[in-house]
């Protein structure tokens, strides 16, 4: 279908410390015991997109991610890994690999997206309107009951980053305004030209940019080339394209019609004009066309491009893993209400020794135990995910938490609303509430922590 | 049947009396060869045909090939050096690994030394890739799909199966033999006997062909056991046989364009094949049950989600389908042009799969595109004509043409069709019609016809003084767009809805109408409401001029607008867009007793039409059969 797919997997993420580390880059962060990248790749595989470019920040991370992909998706996907320097942003990453992009349109998906929005629908919307960019918008996910508590993940900066102010045309097809990140705090600035052309605009704050974009390759490359300073697709490129949609500078938009017939000598230019006029007259003019035509009806003088929006239906699930809170939410949802995302992601997961449960141990609903884990007597596991080969002693309570692989938990521990990373050792009678424990950390016996982030000191 | 037929003959004379019908004429004309003159490619000496095989395995022995008529040998030289193109090899994924040195200097060059290739152990067949081996590449292939390209696999499989069948069938004789196998064997033996009899010079190859062809069917049941194959000629022949079966299936795939949708079993069958999810609307008007009507709004999202899953669909075709479905493109000419441009793109990107012939495979491909487009929106008659034209052009391609030449020919044919049949035709119509506009006229038009618009604009450019009345109707209100364009050009216009047409008709001096199709009994098939306007005009003795390109003419006879029609979205008439306050039917739409009817077309009887303006001139509606017949003679189809 002439689409290239770029998965921006990212690397280390500051928002997610101490969960991510050198050994465990963000794409491999387990969500319901599968690396988060699985969800994106699986979804792309489902929609028959088997030729992907995965962009990872940092070489070490790329190495790890590449090894994992080759192990998991061999014979299923054709994946190419590109390592880019850290901290160059999403736009920078695309700029790095821009010479590998050849197809007419590019689908850019964030690697931390856990959703069931069909990429095909985004691509189809993009194609139908012949847009320069199509952004996927979804309703803002409901943060769970945890958020009302004193969760650490919910600090201000993250909250702002997740919300957008989005302006749509009355038909809800075109993107007229988008404010992200820090811009939300400022006054919204709208080009008068757009307002005049559209006449009516709907401003919404209940939609979120899901970071799944379809770009016209020529436009994307041109913008990245012209604007060196652009760092982020979401915060720089997309708002720029939206802002300039009625006066696109040097964006080749109207050329394809000419190119198609250009090489034939038979077709005179005049006929092309006729054809394009017939076609144009037979479709509902969008505001782009209306604004670009001069009052006396001569040919459009100003170049325009379209910025479309694909609004995912409210029933679909769509969350980005970009904060610890989101991490908790996704773990909860994937094991709970959005469990259809899990189906078929990884058939191998069911093989292996099933977890052993001690006597009088209860595992509540929305919970998950990885293979080879052992749970002692009289334990309670509620709404939690426990990874592989964990050893949990007796009289342990795990509620609303995520425990990764190879964790040893001593007797009598109580873990609530926390994330315990791999290879952590919790000695007896540890009480954790809303904590994050980094990989390889050892919590001494009897200690109590509340809303803290524990991590091993870097040597 | 009989009484009905006799009844029909009563109406027939009307058609017949105009036609100057001499039965000998058409064949006579068809013998005189305009096509051969058009493309000299067809006229090639047989010797050149043998030399110029682009895929020797297919063509050299193919028994189906008819040697082209002997002709002047002047072309041969020019032919032969065109034949350099090698058959396209199946693409492989490994070609994708990019080994370019990085060339993005604009991105801080200080970073580039730090960039390094990631080494990843790719498992199974792939040996470990060393970092040093691929020094400059940024992308590292970590996971590869080791599938052979699907098409070649399929084709190869078919031929292998067939090749194997001889040993298998002989083996099956000794073991248990089913009835089919026995018969196959018998036939094979008979054929072998015949072959032995005719053991001349070329008999052996022929015999093997017969044997294999006879065995093709039963061999499918038998398991292929041995991998040995012999005789390249057999292979060549078998490919042909293997080809045919899937093609037939594909042909069956396309639901018949005039399917009766009240036949539930057929609808079920068609639904199974359909690419687009089609949910039938429950409450349909009794009289129109035979027409397809689907829940609007369910198709588009479903089709969109399948975007990447429809592998064989060309993106351009897919896009056009989406535009049809969502109503982004309407109007006979625009739809036809859009479709043809998409087909052109598809032809451009087409490459004949190995072991197939372009003519057949491309025809099948186009058919599958067409059936997809039909699912998006039923085709109009004009598009049917256009498709017939294209398929005919494909079928008439000379076998000796290389793939690239054939594609170029087809693409220029497509362009030619758009130019001659649509654009130039429109210009001619405009030229004719303008003569009918005089100063002081009040012209009425209905809907938004592209030809009528051009006529009006051209007449305005010529400085004629006239007024235009644009009559419009809900729900599409396309007249407003026309009005917009006319007013911008400085024409003085009146805008009204069709309800008021009887009032405004008094001052009108001429009615110009567009048409979706003109049928051979003179009936004009056009946007719903046209009949009403024409009848009112007739009652007021205002001449009705229908402007229609000749490619939209169709030989069918239609007496009413019930048999063939299209149902639009019923919601479009139950709801008034942008007027929330008058949506009285909210919540009533799914009522059992309520049936909404949104017809798209209607048929205007020829009695109400004074004249049809076409690219062949201005004719009375009774002369339509002449045009249909004359037009066919141009070898566009038939």
* Structural domain includes residue A276: no
Q: Is B146 exposed, middle or buried (0-12, 13-18, 19+ CB in 10 A)?
A: exposed
Q: φ and ψ at B496, to 5 degrees?
A: -150, 165
Residue A320 bridge partners (DSSP): A113
Residues A37 and A139 in one domain: yes
Domain range for A367 is: 352-454
Query: Is A177 an interface residue toward B (CB < 8 Å)?
Result: no
* Structural domain includes residue A274: no
* Structural domain includes residue A157: no
- Which residue has better confidence, B599 or B247? B599
Q: Which of residues 347-376 of A touch B (CB under 8 A)?
A: none
Sheet of B601-604: strand order equals B553-554, B517-519, B524-527, B601-604
Q: Inter-chain contact B304–A125, Cβ cutoff 8 Å?
A: yes
* Nearest alpha-carbon partner for A211 in A122, A88, A109, A286: A109
Q: What is the CATH number of the domain that holds A71?
A: 3.90.550.10
Q: Inter-chain contact A1–B305, Cβ cutoff 8 Å?
A: no
Q: What is the average per-residue pLDDT within B233-241?
A: 42
- From chain B, the residues in CB contact with A85 under 8 A are 111, 114-115
- From chain B, the residues in CB contact with A124 under 8 A are 303-305, 307, 318, 322
* Nearest alpha-carbon partner for A422 in A387, A385, A447, A396: A387
pTM of this prediction exceeds 0.80: no
Q: What is the average per-residue pLDDT within B407-416?
A: 90
pLDDT over 50 at B149, yes or no? no
Q: What is the pLDDT of residue A282?
A: 65
Query: Is A275 an interface residue toward B (CB < 8 Å)?
Result: yes
Q: What is the pLDDT of residue B316?
A: 86
Q: Which residues contact A15 (CB under 8 A, 6 or more apart)?
A: A158, A322, A323, A324
Min Cα separation B91/chain A (Å): 14
- Name the least confident of A17-31, B93-107, B241-255: B93-107
A265 confidence band (pLDDT: 50, 70, 90): very low
pLDDT over 80 at A277, yes or no? no
From the list B98, B123, B146, the residue facing A100 with the nearest CB is B98
Residues A440 and A325 in one domain: no
From the list B93, B311, B328, the residue facing A283 with the nearest CB is B328
* Structural domain includes residue A62: yes
* Structural domain includes residue A267: no
From the list A74, A82, A275, the residue facing B139 with the nearest CB is A82
- Which residue has better confidence, A292 or B355? B355
Q: What is the pLDDT of residue B279?
A: 64
Q: Give the separation between CA A298 and CA A273, rounded to whole angstroms.
A: 12
* Structural domain includes residue A293: no
- pLDDT, averaged across chain A: 76
pLDDT digits (tens, 9 = 90+) for A279-313: 776 666 666 666 555 444 444 456 678 888 888 88
From the list A74, A124, A225, the residue facing B122 with the nearest CB is A74
Dihedral in degrees, nearest 10, Cα atoms A278, A279, A283, A288: -110
Q: What is the CATH number of the domain that holds A395?
A: 2.160.10.10
Q: Inter-chain contact B120–A50, Cβ cutoff 8 Å?
A: no
Shortest CA distance from A104: residue in chain B: B315
**Interface size between A and B, measured as CB pairs under 8 A:** 208
- Name the least confident of B357-366, B568-577, B578-587: B578-587
Min Cα separation A342/chain B (Å): 19
- Evaluate whether B399 touches B49 at the Cβ level (below 8 Å): yes
Q: What is the pLDDT of residue A179?
A: 81
Q: Inter-chain contact A297–B488, Cβ cutoff 8 Å?
A: yes
pLDDT digits (tens, 9 = 90+) for A202-229: 888 888 888 889 988 888 888 888 888 8
Q: What is the pLDDT of residue B159?
A: 39
CA distances (Å), origin A110, targets A105, A119, B429, B506: 16, 12, 55, 65
- Spell out a b/e string for B613-638, using b for 16 or more CB atoms within 10 Å of the CB, else e: bbbbebbebbbbbbbbbebbbebbbe
Of A30-44, B16-30, B318-332, B333-347, which one has max mean pLDDT? B333-347
Q: Which of residues 85-144 of B touch A (CB under 8 A)?
A: 93, 96-98, 100, 102-104, 106-107, 111, 114-116, 118-124, 138-144
Residues A394 and A312 in one domain: no
Residues A408 and A328 in one domain: no
In a mutagenesis test of the A interface, which of B92, B99, B308, B427 is the best target, namely the one with the most A β-carbons within 10 Å? B308
Q: Inter-chain contact A62–B118, Cβ cutoff 8 Å?
A: yes
- Name the least confident of A199-208, A336-345, B319-328, B351-360: A336-345
* Structural domain includes residue A260: no
In a mutagenesis test of the A interface, which of B98, B100, B109, B118 is the best target, namely the one with the most A β-carbons within 10 Å? B118
Q: Inter-chain contact B308–A123, Cβ cutoff 8 Å?
A: yes
Q: What is the average per-residue pLDDT within B348-372?
A: 88
A142 confidence band (pLDDT: 50, 70, 90): low
Q: What is the average per-residue pLDDT within A123-151?
A: 71
Asked, as a colleague might, if the bond just before B584 is cis with ω within 30 of 0, I would say no
- Name the least confident of A98-112, B20-34, B554-568, B624-638: B20-34
Shortest CA distance from A283: residue in chain B: B329
Q: Inter-chain contact B143–A69, Cβ cutoff 8 Å?
A: yes
The neighbour count for residue A429, using CB atoms within 10 Å, is 17
- Name the least confident of A306-315, B55-64, B133-142: B55-64
Q: Give the separation between CA B3 and CA A89, rounded to whole angstroms.
A: 80
Question: Interface pTM (ipTM) of the complex?
Answer: 0.75
Q: What is the pLDDT of residue A458?
A: 52
Query: Is B344 an interface residue toward A (CB < 8 Å)?
Result: yes
- Evaluate whether B621 touches B609 at the Cβ level (below 8 Å): yes
Min Cα separation A241/chain B (Å): 21
- Name the least confident of A228-232, B125-129, B588-592, B633-637: B125-129
From the list A70, A92, A127, the residue facing B142 with the nearest CB is A70
pLDDT digits (tens, 9 = 90+) for A143-180: 544 443 333 344 443 444 456 788 888 778 888 888 87
Residues A132 and A197 in one domain: yes
From the list B145, B335, B453, the residue facing A50 with the nearest CB is B145
Query: Is A101 an interface residue toward B (CB < 8 Å)?
Result: no
Residues A13 and A41 in one domain: yes
pLDDT over 80 at A261, yes or no? no
Query: Is A86 an interface residue toward B (CB < 8 Å)?
Result: no
Q: What is the pLDDT of residue B532?
A: 93
Q: Give the separation between CA B343 and CA A241, rounded to whole angstroms.
A: 32
- From chain B, the residues in CB contact with A278 under 8 A are 331, 333-334, 337, 422, 450
- pLDDT, averaged across chain B: 69
A32 confidence band (pLDDT: 50, 70, 90): confident
Q: Which of residues 304-343 of A touch B (CB under 8 A)?
A: 313
B302 confidence band (pLDDT: 50, 70, 90): confident
Does an H or E element contain A45, and which? Answer: helix A36-46
Does an H or E element contain B544, and which? Answer: strand B544-547
- Which residue has better confidence, B325 or B264? B325
* Structural domain includes residue A299: no
Coil vs helix vs strand at A79: strand
From the list A83, A95, A124, the residue facing B304 with the nearest CB is A124
- From chain B, the residues in CB contact with A106 under 8 A are none
Q: What is the pLDDT of residue B561?
A: 86
Q: Inter-chain contact B141–A128, Cβ cutoff 8 Å?
A: no
pLDDT over 90 at B492, yes or no? yes
Residues A68 and A203 in one domain: yes
Shortest CA distance from A92: residue in chain B: B107
- From chain B, the residues in CB contact with A96 under 8 A are 104, 107, 138
Q: Give the separation between CA B555 and CA B624, rounded to whole angstroms.
A: 9
Structural domain count of chain A: 2
From the list B107, B303, B412, the residue facing A95 with the nearest CB is B107
> Residue for token digits 């030229």?
B431
pLDDT digits (tens, 9 = 90+) for B578-626: 667 777 777 776 777 788 888 889 999 999 999 999 988 899 999 998 8
pLDDT digits (tens, 9 = 90+) for B200-229: 444 444 444 444 444 444 444 444 444 444
From the list A47, A128, A261, the residue facing B319 with the nearest CB is A128
CA distances (Å), origin B423, targets B10, B445, B482, B611, B632: 38, 21, 19, 21, 19
- Name the least confident of B15-24, B329-338, B395-404: B15-24
CA distances (Å), origin A301, targets A293, A304, B453: 7, 9, 22
- Evaluate whether A377 touches A361 at the Cβ level (below 8 Å): yes
Q: Give the separation between CA B134 and CA B149, rounded to whole angstroms.
A: 26
3-state helix, strand, coil in chain A (%, to 5): 30, 25, 45
* Nearest alpha-carbon partner for B486 in B443, B424, B523, B522: B443
- Sequential DSSP letters for A372-424: T-EE-TT-EEES-EE-TT-EE-SS-EEES-EE-TT-EE-TT-EEES-EE-TT-
Q: Give the separation between CA A125 and CA A113, rounded to whole angstroms.
A: 20
Q: What is the pLDDT of residue B91?
A: 39
Residue A80 bridge partners (DSSP): A53, B141
- Which residue has better confidence, B439 or B264? B439
Asked, as a colleague might, if the bond just before B475 is cis with ω within 30 of 0, I would say yes
Q: What is the pLDDT of residue A183?
A: 65
Q: What is the percent of chain A with per-residue pLDDT over 70, rounded to a whole number?
A: 78
In residues, how long is chain A?
459
Q: Give the separation between CA A82 and CA A236, rounded to whole angstroms.
A: 22
Q: What is the pLDDT of residue B536?
A: 95
Residues A235 and A197 in one domain: yes
Q: Which of residues 130-169 of A touch B (CB under 8 A)?
A: 130
Q: What is the pLDDT of residue B230?
A: 43
pLDDT digits (tens, 9 = 90+) for B61-120: 444 444 444 444 444 334 434 333 344 443 333 333 333 343 443 433 333 333 443 434
Residues A314 and A410 in one domain: no
Upper half-sphere CA count for residue A370 (Cβ side, 13 Å) = 22
**Range list of β-strands (E), B81-164:** 139-143
- Which residue has better confidence, A204 or B159? A204
B501 confidence band (pLDDT: 50, 70, 90): very high
Q: What is the average per-residue pLDDT within B317-333?
A: 85
Looking at residue B19, the DSSP 8-state letter turns out to be: S
Q: What is the average per-residue pLDDT within B110-136?
A: 38
Q: Give the separation between CA A5 and CA A97, rounded to whole angstroms.
A: 12
CA-based Rg of chain B, rounded to a whole angstrom?
Answer: 31
- Evaluate whether B543 touches B577 at the Cβ level (below 8 Å): no
A417 confidence band (pLDDT: 50, 70, 90): confident
Q: Give the separation between CA B360 and CA B248, rounded to whole angstroms.
A: 11
Residues A61 and A176 in one domain: yes
Coil vs helix vs strand at B352: coil
- Name the least confident of A185-194, B13-22, B299-308: B13-22
Min Cα separation B533/chain A (Å): 22
pLDDT over 80 at B40, yes or no? no
Residues A174 and A28 in one domain: yes
The neighbour count for residue A174, using CB atoms within 10 Å, is 24
Q: Is A101 exposed, middle or buried (0-12, 13-18, 19+ CB in 10 A)?
A: middle
Query: Is B333 an interface residue toward A (CB < 8 Å)?
Result: yes
pLDDT over 90 at A99, yes or no? no
From the list A121, A225, A267, the residue facing B106 with the nearest CB is A225
3-state helix, strand, coil in chain B (%, to 5): 50, 10, 40
- Which residue has better confidence, A191 or A237? A237
Residue B468 bridge partners (DSSP): B443, B493
What sign does the CA torsion over B87, B93, B95, B96 have?
A: positive
Shortest CA distance from B142: residue in chain A: A70
From the list B115, B120, B334, the residue facing A279 with the nearest CB is B334
Q: What is the percent of chain B with per-residue pLDDT over 70, rounded to a whole number?
A: 53
From the list B322, B337, B426, the residue facing A124 with the nearest CB is B322
Residues A325 and A375 in one domain: no
Q: Inter-chain contact A264–B415, Cβ cutoff 8 Å?
A: yes
């Amino acid at each position: 279908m002439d689409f290239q797919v770029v998965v921006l997997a990212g690397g280390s993420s500051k928002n997610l410390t101490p969960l991510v580390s050198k050994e465990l880059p963000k794409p491999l962060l387990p969500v319901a015991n599968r690396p988060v990248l699985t969800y994106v790749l699986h979804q792309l595989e489902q929609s028959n997109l088997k030729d992907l470019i995965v962009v990872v920040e940092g070489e070490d991370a790329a190495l790890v991610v590449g090894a994992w992909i080759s192990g998991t998706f061999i014979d299923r996907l054709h994946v190419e890994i590109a390592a880019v320097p850290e901290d160059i942003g999403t736009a920078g990453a695309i700029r790095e690999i821009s010479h590998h992009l050849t197809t007419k349109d590019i689908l850019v998906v964030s690697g931390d997206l856990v959703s069931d929005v069909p990429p095909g629908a985004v691509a189809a919307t993009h194609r139908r309107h012949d847009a320069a960019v199509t952004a996927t918008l979804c309703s803002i996910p409901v943060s769970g009951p945890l958020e009302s508590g004193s969760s650490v993940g919910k600090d201000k900066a993250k909250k702002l980053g997740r919300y957008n102010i989005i302006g749509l045309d009355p038909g809800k097809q075109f993107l007229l305004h988008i404010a992200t990140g820090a811009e939300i705090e400022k006054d919204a600035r709208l080009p008068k030209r757009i307002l005049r052309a559209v006449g009516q605009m709907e401003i919404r704050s209940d939609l979120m940019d899901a970071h799944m974009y379809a770009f016209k390759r020529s436009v994307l490359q041109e913008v990245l080339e012209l604007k060196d300073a652009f760092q982020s697709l979401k915060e720089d490129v997309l708002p720029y394209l939206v802002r300039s949609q009625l006066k696109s500078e040097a964006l080749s938009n109207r050329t394809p019609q000419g190119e198609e017939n250009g090489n034939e000598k038979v077709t005179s230019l005049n006929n092309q004009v006729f054809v394009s006029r017939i076609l144009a007259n037979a479709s509902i003019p969008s505001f782009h066309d209306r604004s670009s035509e001069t009052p006396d009806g001569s040919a459009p003088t100003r170049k325009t491009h379209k910025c479309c929006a694909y609004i995912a239906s409210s029933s679909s699930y769509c969350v980005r893993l970009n904060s610890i809170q989101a991490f908790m939410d996704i773990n909860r949802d994937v094991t709970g209400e959005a469990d259809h995302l899990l189906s078929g992601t990884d058939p191998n997961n069911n093989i292996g020794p099933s977890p052993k449960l001690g006597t009088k141990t209860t595992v509540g609903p929305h919970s998950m135990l990885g293979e080879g884990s052992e749970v002692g007597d009289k334990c309670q596991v509620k709404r939690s995910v426990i990874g592989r080969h964990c050893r949990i002693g007796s009289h342990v309570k795990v509620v609303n938490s995520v425990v990764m692989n190879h964790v040893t938990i001593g007797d009598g521990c109580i873990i609530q609303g926390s994330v315990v990373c791999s290879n952590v050792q919790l000695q007896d009678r540890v009480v954790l509430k809303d904590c994050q424990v980094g990989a390889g950390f050892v919590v001494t016996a009897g200690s109590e922590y509340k809303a803290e982030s524990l991590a091993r000191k870097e040597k | 049947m009989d009484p009905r037929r006799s009844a029909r003959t009563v109406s027939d004379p009307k058609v017949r009396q105009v036609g100057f019908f001499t039965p000998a004429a058409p064949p006579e004309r068809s013998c005189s060869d305009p096509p051969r003159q058009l493309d000299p490619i067809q006229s090639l000496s047989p010797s050149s045909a043998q030399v110029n095989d682009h895929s020797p395995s297919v063509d050299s022995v193919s028994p189906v090939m008819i040697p082209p008529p002997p002709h002047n040998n002047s072309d041969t030289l020019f032919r032969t050096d065109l034949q350099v193109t090698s058959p396209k090899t199946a693409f492989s994924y490994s070609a994708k690994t990019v080994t370019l040195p990085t060339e993005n200097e604009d991105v801080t060059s200080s970073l580039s030394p730090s960039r390094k290739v990631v080494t990843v152990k790719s498992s199974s067949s792939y040996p470990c890739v060393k970092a040093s081996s691929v020094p400059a590449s940024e992308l590292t292939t970590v996971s590869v799909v080791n599938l052979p390209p699907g098409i070649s696999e399929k084709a190869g499989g078919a031929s292998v199966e067939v090749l194997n069948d001889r040993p298998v069938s002989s083996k099956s004789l000794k073991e248990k033999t089913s009835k089919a196998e026995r018969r196959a064997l018998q036939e094979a033996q008979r054929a072998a006997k015949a072959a032995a009899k005719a053991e001349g010079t070329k008999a052996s190859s022929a015999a093997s062909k017969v044997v294999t062809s006879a065995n093709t069917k039963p061999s499918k049941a038998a398991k292929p056991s041995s991998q040995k194959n012999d005789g390249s000629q057999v292979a060549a022949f078998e490919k042909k046989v293997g080809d045919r079966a899937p093609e037939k299936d594909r042909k069956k795939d396309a639901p018949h364009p005039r399917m009766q949708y009240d036949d539930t079993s057929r609808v079920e069958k068609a639904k199974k094949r359909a690419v687009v999810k089609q949910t039938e609307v429950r409450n349909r008007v009794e009289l129109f049950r035979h027409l397809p009507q689907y829940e609007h709004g369910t198709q588009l999202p479903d089709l969109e989600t399948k975007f990447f899953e429809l592998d064989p669909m060309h993106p351009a075709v897919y896009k056009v389908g989406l535009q049809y479905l969502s109503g982004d493109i309407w109007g006979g000419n625009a739809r036809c042009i859009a479709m043809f441009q998409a087909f052109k793109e598809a032809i451009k990107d087409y490459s004949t799969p190995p072991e197939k012939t372009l003519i057949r495979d491309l025809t099948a491909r186009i058919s599958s595109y067409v059936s997809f487009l039909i699912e998006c929106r039923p085709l109009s008659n004009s598009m049917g004509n256009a498709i017939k034209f294209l398929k005919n052009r494909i079928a008439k391609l000379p076998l000796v043409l290389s793939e690239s030449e054939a594609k170029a020919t087809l693409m220029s044919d497509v362009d030619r069709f758009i130019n001659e049949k649509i654009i130039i035709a429109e210009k001619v119509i405009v030229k004719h019609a303008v003569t009918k506009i005089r100063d002081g006229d009040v012209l009425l038009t209905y809907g938004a016809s592209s030809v009528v618009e051009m006529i009006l604009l051209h007449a305005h450019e010529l400085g004629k003084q006239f007024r235009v009345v644009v009559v419009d109707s809900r729900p599409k209100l396309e007249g407003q767009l026309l009005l917009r364009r006319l007013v911008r050009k400085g024409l003085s216009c009146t805008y009204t809805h069709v309800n008021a047409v009887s009032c405004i008709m008094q001052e009108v001096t001429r009615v110009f109408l567009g048409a979706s199709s003109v049928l051979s009994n003179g009936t004009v098939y056009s946007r719903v409401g046209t009949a009403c306007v024409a009848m009112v005009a007739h009652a007021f003795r205002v001449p009705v001029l229908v402007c229609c390109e000749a490619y939209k003419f169709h030989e069918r006879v239609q007496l009413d607008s019930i048999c063939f029609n299209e149902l639009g979205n019923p919601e479009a008439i139950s709801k008034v867009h942008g007027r929330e306050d008058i949506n009285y039917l909210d919540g009533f739409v799914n009522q059992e007793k309520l049936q909404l009817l949104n017809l798209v077309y209607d048929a205007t009887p020829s009695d109400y039409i004074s004249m049809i303006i076409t690219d062949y001139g201005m004719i009375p509606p009774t002369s339509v059969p002449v045009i249909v017949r004359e037009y066919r003679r141009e070898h566009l189809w038939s």
